Amino acid sequence: MILESFTHAFDLVLTLDKDFFEILLLSMKVSFLSLLLSCLVGLPIGTYLAIKNFWGRDTVIIIFNAMMGLPPVVVGLIVYLLISRSGPFGWLGVLYTPTAMIIAQMILIIPIIVSLTAQIIEEINEEYKDLFKSLVISSHKALVACLYDARYSILTVILAGFGRAISEVGAVIIVGGNIDHLTRVMTTTIALETSKGNLSLALALGIILLLIALIINLILISLKTRAKRRMYV
């Protein structure tokens, strides 16, 4: 039984079964869009928190750090209450759509992007602050230098955000509904098919998720090695 499931799972992966490919494509689409939008929001906020001193800055950083540990099911519940028909944003009509899943994932990814980016840029800024002052470098050029110096570390942060997005199940299943041919992604399909006893499809998607995790880790190791060689970390 188990051996047959594994054999069928590999067949699904190698032949790119239509339903299998549809689920995979939607998963990547939702995850990449969530990551892109989260980076557009999170990177500027993280950089601003790193280089600017203002009243309440530490509190804001603490809030974002705490949000990194948000339970996905709680995020899903909050988004559900906001965009349901009786919620304040119910008029948007995005419940049980990929848009709702992207919103939920963004809430989970943005704190990661903001917190880690702020930490990285702040450390580099502190390291070079005296040098910039001695060379009378403008704040704009100093910021550009910090961002350039942190580019490998920021890429690592982005990959960490993608890892969170692609592996998410709790929030997306609440706001997406796991509807076939509409909001069914890899993680929610694995949960559903396992409960139904359809191990072949669940294993096939699990294999893809493991491959994605392996690729992300290989890229992270490669970036860290490259950064150390260039003395950026």
> Can you read off the two tokens belonging to residue 119?
């930490």
* Mean residue pLDDT across the chain: 85
Residue carrying structure tokens 């990194």 = 68
For residue 233, what pLDDT is reported?
47
* DSSP string for 41-60: HHHHHHHHHHH---TTHHHH
182-218 residue pLDDT tens: 888 888 888 888 888 777 878 888 888 888 888 888 8
Give the integer Cα–Cα distance in Å for 115 and 123.
12
Residue carrying structure tokens 């028909």 = 85
CB 108 within 8 A of CB 164: yes
For residue 62, what pLDDT is reported?
93
168 SS3 class: coil
Residue 24: CB atoms within 10 Å = 21
86-142 residue pLDDT tens: 889 988 889 999 999 999 999 999 999 999 999 999 888 888 777 777 777 777 787
The CATH number of domain 2-229, selected from 1.10.10.10, 1.10.3720.10, 1.10.260.40, 1.20.1250.20: 1.10.3720.10
Give the integer Cα–Cα distance in Å for 111 and 196.
35
**Sequence ranges of the domains in the chain:** 2-229
Q: Which of 207, 200, 204 is nearest to 5 (CA)?
A: 200
* DSSP string for 81-145: HHHSTTSTTGGG--TTSHHHHHHHHHHHHHHHHHHHHHHHHHHHHHHHHHHHHHTT--HHHHHHH
54-88 residue pLDDT tens: 888 899 999 999 999 889 999 999 999 999 988 89
For residue 231, what pLDDT is reported?
56
